[in-house]
Amino acid sequence: MAYEYDSENIFAKILRGEIPNSTVLETEHTLAFRDITPQAPEHVLVIPRGEYVCFDHFALAASDAEILDFNRTVGKICAMLGVQPGEGGGGYRLIANSGEAAVQEVPHMHVHILAGRPLGRMLNPA
Ligand code: AMP
């Protein structure tokens, strides 16, 4: 499958420093920042610096170093937010909308970390 990356998407502009963001954590391969329209008291977006369109693109094409760094960053943010279920936090949800069916708005791979309130069941009825 050929993935076509649009380098004018808003997260690409954030990575190039063309528009501001509320950074939570940055590493060699990964950037995490607050969602501009939070859906929960804690709503952080985690994105790779590399040009990946969606989760499967990243998982299939990224280097081991990028994938390791991304996952470690997600874990570190959960710890920073204090939401780890086993550590007295209330838990959290990860969402990676990918493609049309999931209504992915920004075509740069990202994972949402949502926490800070009861999040309900996984999906609304179609
Ligand atoms: P998705 O539907 O999974 O593609 O979600 C894209 C998310 O990006 C939405 O939750 C938006 O609120 C968020 N978003 C869009 N523009 C910005 C921005 N400039 N800074 C932070 N978050 C943004």
- Report the C-alpha gap between 57 and 40 in whole angstroms: 27
Phi, psi of 46 (to 5 degrees): -115, 125
Please report, for the chain, the start and end positions of each structural domain, with discontinuous segments joined by +.
23-105
DSSP character for 30? Answer: E
pLDDT tens digits, 81-120: 999 998 778 999 999 999 999 999 999 999 999 999 999 9
Tell me, yes or no, if 29 is annotated catalytic.
no
Q: 15: Cβ below 6 Å to ligand 1?
A: no
Q: Which two tokens stand for residue 64?
A: 């081991």
Ligand 1, atom nearest to 43 Cα: 10
Ligand 1, atom nearest to 95 Cα: 3
Cβ atoms of residues 56 and 109 within 8 Å = no
Instruction: Supply the pTM of this predicted model.
Output: 0.96
Pick the CATH number of 23-105 from 3.30.565.10, 3.40.50.2300, 3.30.428.10, 1.20.120.420: 3.30.428.10
Cβ atoms of residues 96 and 25 within 8 Å = no
